[in-house]
Amino acid sequence: MKKSVARRLLVTLVLVTLLSGTLYLVMQNFRDNLVFFFSPTEVLDTPEKASKRARLGGMIKEGSVKIVSKSEHRLRFAVTDFNKEVAVEYQGFLPDLFREGQGLVAEGYFDQKSQIFMARTILAKHDATYMPPQVEEVLDRHHGKDSLAQNKQDSQGQVSR
Amino acid sequence: MIVDLGHSMLLASFIVAALGAFVPLMIARHSTLLSLRFAQINGSFLLFLLLGSFSALAYAFMTSDFSLKIVTLNSEVSEPLVYRLVALWGNHEGSLLLWIVTLTLYIVLFSFSGRTIATHRDRTRMLAILSAILWGFLLFMLWTSNPFETLKVTPHKGLGLNPILQDPSMTFHPPSLYFGYIGFVIPFAMAVGFLWRGHFKKEHAGWMRLWTLIPWSFLTFGVAAGSLWAYYELGWGGWWSWDPVENASLLPWLVSTALLHAIGSYRRTGSLKLWCLFLGLLTYLTSLLGTYITRSGIVASVHGFAKDEQRGLYLLTFTALLAGLSFLLFAVRAYKMRSKMPVIYPALSGFVSLNIYILLLISLVLGAGTLYPVFGEATLTESFFNTSINPLALAVLFLMGLATFVGWKPTPLWPLLRKRLLPLNGGLLVIAVLMYQETLEKNAENLIAVFALGFSLWVLVASSIALVKKRAHAMMLAHIGFSICVIGMSSDTLFKEEGTFWLGAGESETFAGYTFVLESVRQNEAPNYINEVAEVGVFNFKGEAVATLKPETRLYGTKGALVSKTAVVRRYWAQLYVVLGPMLETGQRSFRVFYHPLVMLIWLGGGLMSLGGCIAVLGYVRRRRRFL
């Protein structure tokens, strides 16, 4: 009887240690992987906050897409919330819906020296009529609903190439 | 006319389901046999009504009856018949009807099962609980999402099905997922029924195992098929992105897997009895939570249905109510029903209980990570899930390997391990070799993948030996499937290559030992979309043509939506994967290419796991008829 109690105690102790260890690691991991969402205005107002790891949401400005380096597949364009705009640099594949005048969410960091948002990934959305909710909110905040509706129509006109 | 009939049948089923929830319980006071018969007939009648209603809706979709709102919003005359039909479950309301029909089908099949296992009274109670749950869903449907809602003016044209859903997988992926997580309602009702009665014998557990295995097999297949679909349809080159909806399907899978293991242990040793009941409740509740996540649109997702607060609130209340009542019942009855058999640690029951703890921990992290964006301002990246959940899954894999060598009786671990360590050594060798690979990027995700690859090879060898030698074919097959799946996932994580090309006509690039030449880009027209198809020739290092890939981009007129169709070709043990991107100002097209080694093993493994479940179910049909 005594032996079995001791054994149970041991097993419980081991389990509790393992559990708390795991939870500690998960919480650490959680802190490291949180990404906050910024509008262009917010990025320029508080650049230090967006300089580690951030998501940027807004509209790709008409006529702003330029190729920086052909061999490296590097592009530069501007993302706007119709209040301020941020230059974005991106290297790699562009999703289908990457078009001027479309909503976009990019993940990366804001380089304070060059004042450029270095995008690591562009989050692809799969419906031309779909506006990422966060982008919609960002545009709303700075410009009211009407301009958004106007812009949506414009971009839809553009898609039928 | 037919549509009106369907609508009336739906309304009638609402009343019939309500009757089914309490009339049998009233009759049971006088005659338990009579009450059981009533519940059976009631269930069958419900199935008749709902199948009628479902057929009427299917008829409306096939004939493009645009007086119905959901037909107008989700279908279009020019689409092929099969997509007009599957549009039925390509939207919230229609898929909810499929959901309800599936639930009723499960109820009817279950109502004729377990003649010699459970008493009439127990079965009547379970059927009444099921009928009440069905009623709850019917109320939800008629209140917030009636598929038979009509439009005041009948339009001439429909808006068409969401282009991403216009894929052959749409015919079987959603139904197989539904047959998965809806079926977990049966173990839930069983657990409540047995707790109500206050007993749960080993043969009851066997019966519960059968009714967990059926949905588990469907769910496993559905999750694997969903991952395959995402891989070739969405064109981002991955097979799992920890999207909220993916997580919602994984959550009940994890808990039901834990349930199957708990039942195994209880039937053999008598331990973990309460775990069977608790996990029986929890499996269905997590599947309801998944429904809530998907259908309320609270978390932004690729698959999400439109955001609707009323629907979300109803589902949340419904889930909370079921959870509250069932856990209360559990709390009241659990102490009296507990098993006297201890869990033995250096034996299988100990491994199973550790496995349950880890699976629940994984579910907790997964659930919390999925729901976090609802409460916080920020989003969690994929790498949170990769680096939190994968190490825990690694522990499960390690236990799975060890458990192959241990029996139900207490076994001294070391002597046994020493004798059978050979395959583990092989696995460790693989780990050691990979650790010294210069080319491998050193990060947490790769480190986990290295260990996963080593352990899964070990599990594969050990389980295959066990399969050939002796017992538990179905279980060993599922374990083999799991290890094959992990081999696929980890080797793709470690050795995947990814590249971007900008190609004009006639230009070429070399990638992963192959040369890709853009031959032409052509425009075509189909009845319901226009597309651009690129022809990309692939040549090996000798300059021989090995394949022509045709990635395409489609523009669906009705919804103005662009969809890319990936081109995939198998080369030996790997897949080459090409996506066509937009036109650049230089006149070139951008392409994204992937080299995916062993990626097929992921879905092969998933299929084997599901097959293992099916074989176990067939075992009941062949040998243990009395459970049916």
- Please calculate the CA angle B303-B307-B309 and round it to the nearest 5 degrees: 140
Residue A155 reports pLDDT greater than 50: no
List strands edge to edge, sheet with B567-571.
B497-503, B589-597, B574-583, B567-571
B81 interface with A at CB cutoff 8 Å: no
The whole-angstrom distance between B440's CA and the closest CA on chain A is: 20
Cross-chain residue pair B559–A98, CB shorter than 8 Å: no
B356-359 LR contacts (CB < 8 Å, sep 24+):
B356/B258, B356/B261, B356/B262, B356/B272, B356/B275, B356/B279, B357/A15, B357/A19, B358/B392, B358/B395, B358/B396, B358/B399, B359/B254, B359/B255, B359/B257, B359/B258, B359/B396
Quickly tell me which residue has 């990936």 as its tokens.
B566
> CA-CA distance, A10 to A2, in Å (whole number)?
12
Residue A159 reports pLDDT greater than 80: no
Give the tens place of pLDDT for each residue, B285-307: 999 998 888 887 666 655 555 56
Residue type, B304: G
Residue B112 backbone phi and psi in degrees, to 5 = -105, 15
**Structural domain spans, chain B:** 396-496+601-605, 497-598
List, in sequence order, every residue forming a beta bridge with A45; answer none if it has no partner.
none
Q: Is B336 exposed, middle or buried (0-12, 13-18, 19+ CB in 10 A)?
A: exposed
B377 interface with A at CB cutoff 8 Å: yes
B398 interface with A at CB cutoff 8 Å: no
- Looking at per-residue pLDDT, the higher value among A59 and A156 belongs to A59
The whole-angstrom distance between A67's CA and the closest CA on chain B is: 8
Residue type, B181: Y
A120 interface with B at CB cutoff 8 Å: no
In this prediction the ipTM stands at 0.76
B365 interface with A at CB cutoff 8 Å: yes
Residue B538 reports pLDDT greater than 60: yes
A74 interface with B at CB cutoff 8 Å: no
> CA-CA distance, B209 to B191, in Å (whole number)?
12
The sign of the dihedral angle between the CA atoms of B379, B380, B383, B386 is negative
The whole-angstrom distance between A72's CA and the closest CA on chain B is: 9
The mean pLDDT value for B527-546 works out to 88
The whole-angstrom distance between A47's CA and the closest CA on chain B is: 17
- Nearest neighbour of B357 by CB, restricted to A4, A15, A129: A15
> CA-CA distance, A37 to B598, in Å (whole number)?
36
**Coil, strand or helix at A59:** strand
Cross-chain residue pair A98–B582, CB shorter than 8 Å: yes
Cross-chain residue pair B164–A65, CB shorter than 8 Å: no
Residue B48 reports pLDDT greater than 70: yes
Residue type, B62: M
Count of alpha carbons within 13 angstroms of residue B337, beta-carbon side: 23
* List of chain B residues whose C-beta atoms are within 8 Å of the C-beta of residue A132: 300
Phi-psi map region of B560: left, alpha, beta (phi>0 left; psi -120 to 50 alpha): left
Residues sharing a CB contact under 8 Å with residue B626, sequence separation 6 or more, in sequence order: B115, B116, B117
Cross-chain residue pair B586–A33, CB shorter than 8 Å: no
Model pTM score? 0.90
State residue A142's pLDDT score: 60
Q: Which two tokens stand for residue A124?
A: 């692809």
State residue B597's pLDDT score: 92
State residue B581's pLDDT score: 83
Are the CB atoms for B183 and B215 separated by under 8 Å?
A: yes
Q: What pLDDT band is residue B559 in, cutting at 50, 70 and 90?
A: low
Q: Which of A65, A127, A158, A160 to mutate to test the interface with B (most CBs of B within 10 A)?
A: A127
Give the tens place of pLDDT for each residue, B562-593: 778 888 888 888 999 998 888 777 788 888 89
Cross-chain residue pair B300–A132, CB shorter than 8 Å: yes
- Nearest neighbour of B379 by CB, restricted to A35, A95, A161: A35
Residue B1 reports pLDDT greater than 90: no
Residue B196 backbone phi and psi in degrees, to 5 = -60, -50
Cross-chain residue pair A65–B236, CB shorter than 8 Å: no
* List of chain B residues whose C-beta atoms are within 8 Å of the C-beta of residue A37: 377-379
Chain pair A-B, CB pairs under 8 angstroms: 104
The whole-angstrom distance between A64's CA and the closest CA on chain B is: 12
Q: Is B383 exposed, middle or buried (0-12, 13-18, 19+ CB in 10 A)?
A: middle
> CA-CA distance, B327 to B392, in Å (whole number)?
27
Cross-chain residue pair B579–A4, CB shorter than 8 Å: no
Phi-psi map region of B15: left, alpha, beta (phi>0 left; psi -120 to 50 alpha): alpha
B504 interface with A at CB cutoff 8 Å: no
List, in sequence order, every residue forming a beta bridge with B531; answer none if it has no partner.
B524, B554
> CA-CA distance, B439 to A77, in Å (whole number)?
33
Residues sharing a CB contact under 8 Å with residue B404, sequence separation 6 or more, in sequence order: B459, B462, B463, B465, B466, B479
State residue B409's pLDDT score: 81
Give the tens place of pLDDT for each residue, B307-351: 677 888 899 999 999 999 999 999 999 988 888 887 777 788 888
A5 interface with B at CB cutoff 8 Å: no
State residue B600's pLDDT score: 94
State residue B594's pLDDT score: 92
- Nearest neighbour of A133 by CB, restricted to B300, B365, B378: B300
Are the CB atoms for A40 and A56 separated by under 8 Å?
A: yes
Are the CB atoms for B125 and B25 separated by under 8 Å?
A: yes
- As a whole number, the mean pLDDT across chain B is 88
* List of chain A residues whose C-beta atoms are within 8 Å of the C-beta of residue B500: 73, 92-93
The mean pLDDT value for B596-624 works out to 91
**Coil, strand or helix at B510:** strand
- Closest CA relative to residue B609, chosen from B223, B209, B208, B183: B223
The mean pLDDT value for B402-423 works out to 75
- Nearest neighbour of A128 by CB, restricted to B235, B387, B561: B561
B620-625 LR contacts (CB < 8 Å, sep 24+):
B620/B210, B624/B206
Sort strands A54-60 and A34-38 into parallel, antiparallel or unpaired: parallel
Q: Which two tokens stand for residue B565?
A: 């169709």
> CA-CA distance, B76 to B157, in Å (whole number)?
7
Phi-psi map region of A82: left, alpha, beta (phi>0 left; psi -120 to 50 alpha): left
B383 interface with A at CB cutoff 8 Å: yes
Residue B408 reports pLDDT greater than 90: no
The mean pLDDT value for B134-148 works out to 93
* List of chain B residues whose C-beta atoms are within 8 Å of the C-beta of residue A124: 234-236
> CA-CA distance, A150 to B226, in Å (whole number)?
36
The mean pLDDT value for B490-501 works out to 89
CA distances from B539 to B278, B504, B514, B536, B555 (A): 57, 17, 6, 10, 30
Cross-chain residue pair A35–B378, CB shorter than 8 Å: yes
Residue B551 backbone phi and psi in degrees, to 5 = -70, 150
Residue B49 reports pLDDT greater than 60: yes
The mean pLDDT value for B364-393 works out to 86
Are the CB atoms for B584 and B502 separated by under 8 Å?
A: yes
The whole-angstrom distance between A146's CA and the closest CA on chain B is: 21
Sort strands A116-123 and A103-111 into parallel, antiparallel or unpaired: antiparallel
Residue type, B193: G
